[in-house]
Amino acid sequence: MSVIQVDALVIGAGFSGMYQLLCLRDKLNLNVAVVERGAEVGGTWYWNRYPGARCDSESHAYQYYFSEDLAKEWQWTERFPDHAEIRRYLNFVADKFNLRPNIRFNTEIVSAKYDSTQDVWQAKTDQGDTYQAKYLITAVGCLSTANVPKIEGLDSFKGQWYHTGQWPHEGVDFRGKRVGVIGTGSTGIQAIPVIAETAGHLTVFQRTANYSIPAKNAPLTEEFKKYVKDHFEEIRDITRGNTNGQAFYIKDRSALETPPDVRQRIYEELWEKGGFQFRASFNDLLSNKEANDTAAQFIIHKIRQKIKDPAVADILTDIDHPFAAKRPPIDTNYFETYNRDNVTLVDIRHAPIERITERGIKTSDAEYDLDIIVFATGFDAMTRPLLRLNIEGENGLPLAEAWKAGPRNYLGLQVPGFPNMFTITGPGSPSVLTNMPVAIEQHVEWITQCIADMQAKGFKKIEASEEATANWLEHVNIAANKTLLPLAKHSWYLGANVPGKPRVFMPYTGGMAFYRKECEAIVKDSYAGFLRS
């Protein structure tokens, strides 16, 4: 039951918390503690160990770029790294920079209150200790709170059930079992083909049909490995200078202005190449419905070609949203899996799940007997990881109250009324619309610079002004409405996947390059929009 005094408390030891620790400890010489609920570093990747869990950014982009030494010493093996390899990478980083002495594992922050009398944060752990810190930095990720839908009868189910984001470390044995998967987002699309390989029978419950592009994952060639090492600066600068944080640019050409035969050839080439570059083929896919339709129709045609049973193809291609309005999955043998004899697709949009029974899942027109149910139902994204910390700002204002109508955050970095609290990749920043490590490095470096400036100038407090926050949120909203992204009905970008959650488009769609410049301009303008005292 001790009180631990530190300069900065960082919550979470994934990509963001680890780098924030390194910057504050080694560059600013601050006394820093990191509290992490997992038993090891890894953040999102510590929990997401479901079959097929793999990154959808390419490995050479999905890494830190702050250290050339680190990039030269580490070697990825595949184009799209799997969860285990990403954890090995983060452990390698923790060892190289000796991060573990500052990280307390298996510990959760259960509340954090700002004490205005001393200008410090008081954060309690589930072990009964209190951290007292001038700065509170949340590094809790955007997708760290599992969304298990409240389906009546789950408690009565006699088999086992799992959520993909809380996967047992020892794995799950599907051999010979009747398995049901609910959800066909990025996660379901990754897990379904792998589970089908061993399950006795797999039944997939699909509410919304989804697009997916082949990942074309493969081991990295020696030539490519060398290319990446030799072009460290060039690759870093591309990821930092573009809209999406990836190691490639969105092509500066319009789908609509490209002749149909040329456009078709481009789509074919990128389909063969695989991965997110398909989405970057034209600059109007996310802003113009007609342009988007050209990509959507191309993908739907490809899906139909893969599926033997036309009735199954109908269900898989009955897609109700523009391509990439939801996070576009990439896959390995996803659609082909429905040609297997041991796989059944159930359309729960037209015959919804009514309840879970002792024996399995009952829809409005049938009952499916199951031994295992896998919820690939996503996350209460972006806000819940912060709200679950029970944070109270000045005058005892709970974050849940401040965000009753949706998240209010200036640049995704600070909430008005919550001084000296920084939210890495918070709502209102580009975060999940980019390659995350790039967004994370930018935020961590901005926060570090901001704290360094406060220390140098003797400021005790910094907080976002109400006015700047309101203006920024209006800008975030306008930017979102210039795109097709708000058109996806159940999107987690909108909070629409969780019943009762306020509908606010949370990530910033204006692009990483513009956002970065905006953050830099604010620093030059003496932290305009922030109140410092």
Which residues lie near ligand NA7 (CB under 6 A)?
143, 149, 182-188, 207-208, 327, 348, 376-379, 432, 490, 492, 497
Shortest reach from residue 57's CB to ligand NA7, in Å: 10
- Cα four-point dihedral sign 301, 305, 311, 317: negative
Shortest reach from residue 354's CB to ligand NA7, in Å: 11
Nearer to ligand NA7, 490 or 532 (CB): 490
Q: Judging by DSSP bridges, how do beta strands 130-138 and 120-125 pair with one another?
A: antiparallel
Q: How far, in Å, CA of 140 to CA of 47, rounded?
A: 12
Shortest reach from residue 115's CB to ligand NA7, in Å: 36
Shortest reach from residue 254's CB to ligand NA7, in Å: 26
Shortest reach from residue 454's CB to ligand NA7, in Å: 33
Shortest reach from residue 400's CB to ligand NA7, in Å: 22
Q: Which residues contact 164 (CB under 8 A, 6 or more apart)?
A: 48, 50, 53, 146, 183, 187, 188, 191, 374, 375, 376
Nearer to ligand NA7, 84 or 521 (CB): 84
Nearer to ligand NA7, 177 or 207 (CB): 207
Nearer to ligand NA7, 150 or 457 (CB): 150
Evaluate whether 88 touches 62 at the Cβ level (below 8 Å): no
Evaluate whether 38 touches 46 at the Cβ level (below 8 Å): yes
Evaluate whether 76 touches 59 at the Cβ level (below 8 Å): yes
Of the candidates 106, 75, 104, 103, the one whose C-alpha atom is nearest the C-alpha of residue 88 is: 75
Shortest reach from residue 378's CB to ligand NA7, in Å: 3
Element (H, E) at 363: strand 360-363
Shortest reach from residue 332's CB to ligand NA7, in Å: 15
Nearer to ligand NA7, 30 or 484 (CB): 484
Residue of closest CB approach to ligand NA7? 185
Nearer to ligand NA7, 374 or 451 (CB): 374
Specify the length of the chain in residues: 533
Nearer to ligand NA7, 228 or 382 (CB): 382
State both tokens at 71.
Answer: 């990039």
Q: How far, in Å, CA of 491 to CA of 320, rounded?
A: 12
Shortest reach from residue 163's CB to ligand NA7, in Å: 9
- How many other C-beta atoms are found inside a 10 Å radius of the C-beta of residue 138? 24
- How many other C-beta atoms are found inside a 10 Å radius of the C-beta of residue 517? 11
Nearer to ligand NA7, 166 or 254 (CB): 166
Q: How far, in Å, CA of 13 to CA of 109, rounded?
A: 13
- Output the DSSP codes for 388-400: TT-EE-GGG-BHH
Shortest reach from residue 82's CB to ligand NA7, in Å: 14
Bridge partners of 236, per DSSP, are none
Shortest reach from residue 450's CB to ligand NA7, in Å: 28
Amino acid at 65: Y
Q: Which residues contact 360 (CB under 8 A, 6 or more apart)?
A: 157, 159, 178, 180, 367, 368, 369, 370, 373
State both tokens at 320.
Answer: 């109700």
Q: Judging by DSSP bridges, how do beta strands 462-464 and 530-532 pair with one another?
A: antiparallel
Q: How far, in Å, CA of 57 to CA of 64, rounded?
A: 13
